[in-house]
């Protein structure tokens, strides 16, 4: 996915306000309404926003699955901060698995800095990005989950069960203060559970917007995870899991 700096700024404003008119976006970005309309058309074509009469909106709800392409535009700064921290766990020659989350996808540039890396992912966007970075990449096949770039199904299950990666980076929709990881999409939860079974090291990536929340389907708890990485401290969290500073 390639967007301009102004389009990234538009996404940040929409993430903060959920909905904004064309005129308000023009004011916030110090540009013309006609330029904003062109930007919104581009972002909609990339499935990052939803155009509405007179403006645009971002999906958001605690127990509603946000479309993957919209997730790519949410909390970009926080996800970049998480990826930078998590990158300290990477070593040359590793086999790395990234789940279908947008957060995990931000690790691709850091993986590319290491030698002899092998990447596995069930996210087509992440796979294409990794290929463009020159990383040896395996895209785990299957069917599209909710018409997104995330692949799942019997073919994916079989493939994942035969892979034993050195390290797995994954995310989810919610993290409670008792350390329960959960998600509103049962299919994504199941495929993550298969990834966790075979990974030699599991790393949970979570931005602070997900703190102190619970989604419909439980995945696991932090007690079963090796390392967790946040964009900022979570003082209320009760866990013995290693938190990467």
Q: What is the pLDDT of residues 138-174, one digit of tens each?
A: 999 988 887 788 999 999 999 999 999 999 999 999 9
CB atoms within 10 A of CB 146: 12
Average pLDDT of the residues in 33-60: 80
Average pLDDT of the residues in 53-60: 72
pLDDT of the residue at 3 = 76
Distance (Å, whole) CA 234 – CA 245: 11
- 23: which 2 tokens? 């005129």
Q: How far is CA 242 from the centre of its chain?
A: 21
pLDDT of the residue at 27 = 93
pLDDT of the residue at 211 = 96
Query: Which residue's structure tokens are 């967007």?
Result: 3
pLDDT of the residue at 178 = 96
Q: Tally the residues of the chain.
A: 245
- Read off the pTM: 0.73
The beta strand positions in 53-175, using DSSP E, are: 55-57, 95-98, 118-121, 136-139, 143-144, 151-152, 167-170, 174-175
In this prediction, residue 35 has a pLDDT band, given cuts at 50, 70 and 90, of very high
Higher pLDDT, 102 or 87: 87
Query: Which residue's structure tokens are 């102190």?
Result: 212
Residue 21 parent element (H or E)? strand 19-21
Mention every residue, 6+ apart, whose C-beta is less than 8 A from residue 132: none
- 213: which 2 tokens? 């929340």
pLDDT of the residue at 74 = 61
**Residue ranges of domains in the chain, CATH in brackets:** 5-58 (1.10.10.10), 76-244 (3.40.50.1360)
Residue 72 has pLDDT above 60, yes or no: no
DSSP string, 35-81: HHHHHHHHHHHTTSSEEETTEEE----TTSPPPHHHHTTSSHHHHHH
For strands 50-52 and 242-244, give the pairing: unpaired
Residue 65 has pLDDT above 60, yes or no: no
Distance (Å, whole) CA 14 – CA 56: 8
CB atoms within 10 A of CB 21: 15
CB 195 within 8 A of CB 97: yes
Query: Which residue's structure tokens are 């540039």?
Result: 109
Per-residue pLDDT of 123-132, as tens digits, reads 999 999 999 9
pLDDT of the residue at 62 = 39
Q: How far is CA 153 from the centre of its chain?
A: 20
């Amino acid at each position: 996915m390639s967007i301009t700096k102004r389009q990234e700024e538009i996404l940040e404003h929409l993430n903060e306000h959920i909905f904004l008119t064309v005129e308000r976006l023009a004011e916030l970005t110090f540009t013309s309404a006609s330029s904003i309309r062109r930007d919104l058309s581009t972002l909609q074509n990339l499935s990052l926003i939803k155009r509405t009469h007179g403006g645009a909106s971002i999906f958001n709800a605690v127990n509603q699955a946000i479309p993957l392409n919209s997730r790519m535009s949410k909390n970009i700064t926080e996800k970049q901060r998480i990826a930078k921290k998590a990158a300290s766990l990477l070593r040359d020659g590793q086999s790395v698995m990234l789940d279908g989350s947008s957060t995990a996808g931000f690790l691709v540039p850091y993986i590319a800095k290491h030698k002899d890396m092998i990447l596995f992912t069930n996210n087509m966007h992440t796979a294409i990005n990794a290929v463009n970075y020159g990383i040896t990449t395996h895209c785990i096949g299957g069917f599209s989950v909710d018409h997104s770039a995330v692949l799942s199904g019997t073919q994916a299950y079989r493939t994942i069960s035969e892979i034993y990666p050195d390290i797995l980076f994954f995310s989810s929709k919610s993290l409670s203060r008792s350390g329960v990881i959960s998600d509103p999409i049962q299919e994504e939860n199941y495929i993550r559970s298969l990834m966790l079974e075979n990974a030699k090291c599991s790393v949970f990536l979570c931005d602070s917007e997900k703190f102190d929340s619970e989604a419909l389907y439980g995945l696991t708890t932090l007690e079963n995870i090796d390392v967790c990485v946040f964009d900022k401290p979570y003082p209320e969290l009760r866990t013995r899991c290693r938190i990467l500073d």
